[in-house]
Amino acid sequence: MSLSDWLVAKRNSVSKKNIQESNLQVPEGLWIKCEKCGLLMYYKALNKNSKVCPQCSHHFPTSSQDRIKQILDKNTWVPINNELASTDPLGFADQKLYGKRLQDMKLKTGLHDAVQTGVGLIGNIPIALGIMDFRFMGGSMGSVVGEKLTRLIEKATIERRPVLIVCASGGARMQEGMLSLMQMAKISSALYKHQKESLIYIPILTSPTTGGVTASFAMLGDLIIAEPNALIAFAGRRVIEQTIREDLPDNFQTSEYLFEHGFIDLIIPRTHLKSKLTQILSFYHNPYKLD
């Protein structure tokens, strides 16, 4: 074979190999694109960074199970009232029976309802923690959410633990009507008793925190913390503008706007949350420690 023939054969072989490699399927879920800056990143790298974009610091939605790992000391989480689950007290039906919707959510998320509650350690300090999960019916506050949070706060009061609640919710659960609205008062009452015992409560507002959650326990904290650029509101923009007949600033329902106007106390990125909580809780746990 001449040199020219060998070069042609080699080129054809390389071209065929490239075509075969280009037809290979890339497994789904390995890569994810940031919706804010467009950065394409390896999904495991995003998870390692607490689901925060390393380029623009956009906070991706995350699950309650992930937040347990992000906030608490390793292997200290002890769930309580984990088996409580909603029923269908009103026999509610829209496009789907409420009972069927609950079953679908349980299968999809592996949760019994829209909040996980338990106790654990942060920086070796005992705390009680509630974490709402937006994946379960938009984190809506039904009877079970209210009951689990109330029991958590009551346990924390007895054991003299600080309470932290990670809020992520679209508001009260319409499928339970007045029963869901009653949870606002029930949780608030438990928090009042907790406060009367000189115990601290810290809500952590994530995106979104809206409706009845914002109107009750999300805004009752001794220290209110929010994630950057979180949507925090009671009613939607259109409803407010139609009611007051005025145009509102583009960012008026963000954590940054609320911080500027005194509604929240701190904005802490998710990647720094555990270290900041450790610092805050240590001040409370040992107020005379100066170093």
pLDDT for the residue numbered 94:
87
- Most confident of the ranges 83-97, 203-217, 229-243: 203-217
Could you list the residues known to form a binding site, using ranges. 34, 37, 53, 56
User: pTM for this one?
Assistant: 0.87
Residue 6 scores a pLDDT above 60: no
- Average pLDDT score, the chain: 90
Per-residue b or e along 241-252, where b marks 16 or more CB atoms closer than 10 Å to that residue's CB: eeeeeeeeeeee
pLDDT, tens digit (0-9, with 9 covering 90-100), for 86-100: 999 899 998 899 999
Q: How large a percentage of the chain has pLDDT more than 90?
A: 78
The CATH label, of 3.30.56.10, 3.30.70.330, 3.30.428.10, 3.90.226.10, for the domain at 61-285 is 3.90.226.10
131, 119 Cβ separation under 8 angstroms = no
pLDDT for the residue numbered 29:
67
Distance CA 62, CA 251 (A): 23
Average pLDDT over residues 238-261: 91
Higher pLDDT, 28 or 131: 131
> Cα-Cα-Cα-Cα dihedral of 244, 245, 249, 251, to 10°?
60
CA 204 to chain CA mean position, Å = 9
Could you list the residues known to form a binding site for Zn(2+), using ranges. 34, 37, 53, 56
pLDDT, tens digit (0-9, with 9 covering 90-100), for 17-60: 454 444 445 456 689 999 999 999 999 999 999 999 999 999 99
pLDDT for the residue numbered 187:
98
Q: How large a percentage of the chain has pLDDT more than 70?
A: 88
pLDDT for the residue numbered 8:
52
Residue 159 scores a pLDDT above 60: yes
pLDDT, tens digit (0-9, with 9 covering 90-100), for 134-147: 999 999 999 999 99
Average pLDDT over residues 65-70: 96
Average pLDDT over residues 105-121: 97
Distance CA 124, CA 199 (A): 18
